[in-house]
Amino acid sequence: MPAEKQDLEQPIPSVWTRPRPRRREQPALSREQIVSAALELLDAEGIEALSMRKLGTRLNAGATSLYTHVANKDELIELVVDEVHGEVEVPAADDPELWREAAARCAESLRATILAHPWLASVLGGMGVTQLGPNAMRLSEGLLNLFEATRLPPGEADLAVSAVTAYVIGMATTEAAWLTTLARSGRTERAWVESLWPAAEEAAREHPQLRERYASLREKDPREIRDEKFAYGLQRILDGIGARAGVAGTA
């Protein structure tokens, strides 16, 4: 068979596109143990610290023991990413009139999950087909059911899901990068921002709009500012979806 044709027939390399191998003996480590240890390592030291060898040491097992469950580090990350997706609150579509509240709650939960695991932002969408994991599918199905229950025009529920999740991931990715920088500095967010104010105010000296904006933010908690920005953008997206659905929403 020509190599090109053979390649086309192969599934996309992913832990979700191949069956689990059948083994006669019970492996020393379970998939759940490996994923749990990998998540602890990622949360503690970041994506750069993860290696099969280091994880094996953490589990008091050789790296080869891990390959019982995953073919490589990419597949391991896919499993951990889906494990983290299990922390996201999935909305119920029981009451179509409450679609907006449920969508906002889910979006806020997704953001909180990404910020709780800042390394996640660097791998979302980049490792195989992470959207095929059971928890990711549960999230997508829940949001799709929620928007299908509104009066959106046919075919737009999926687009609404994409719009909301893209916004959340985009905003949270920026925040996660910022929080990672803070963690490496060893400083609090407020202390870091306070040290930046003099330079920011000097840079804005000839820009009156920015100068006024900076002055209004000078005494605010940086986290509250981030929360406010996220909430504003999310509500405006839900405004648009509500307008398309013909459903009155409350900002």
Taking alpha carbons only, the member of 216, 86, 237, 217 closest to residue 165 is 237
Range(s) within the chain of domains with CATH label 1.10.10.60: 3-85
Quick check: 157 and 40 in contact, CB under 8 A?
no
Per-residue model confidence as pLDDT tens digits over 212-223:
999 899 889 999
The CATH code of the domain at 96-186+220-245 is 1.10.357.10
User: Position of tokens 């406010």?
Assistant: 228
Q: Which tokens in the block code for residue 181?
A: 């920088």
| Helical residues (DSSP H) of the chain, grouped into ranges | 3-9, 31-45, 52-58, 63-66, 73-85, 99-116, 134-148, 157-185, 189-203, 208-217, 222-245
> CA 180 to CA 119: how far, in whole Å?
8
Q: Quick check: helix, strand or coil at residue 6?
A: helix
What value does the mean pLDDT take over residues 26-42? 88
Per-residue model confidence as pLDDT tens digits over 143-199:
999 999 888 999 999 999 999 999 999 999 999 999 988 888 889 999 999 998 899
Q: Which CATH architecture has domain 3-85?
A: Orthogonal Bundle (1.10)
The answer on pLDDT for 3 being more than 50 is no
Range(s) within the chain of domains with CATH label 1.10.357.10: 96-186+220-245
User: Position of tokens 């000296």?
Assistant: 205
Confidence of residue 23 (pLDDT cuts 50, 70, 90): low
Q: For position 251, what pLDDT does the model report?
A: 40
Q: Between 22 and 114, where is the model more confident? A: 114
> CA 206 to CA 203: how far, in whole Å?
8
Q: For position 2, what pLDDT does the model report?
A: 46
Q: Maximum distance among all alpha carbons in the chain?
A: 73
Specify the pTM.
0.85
Q: What is the mean pLDDT of the chain?
A: 86
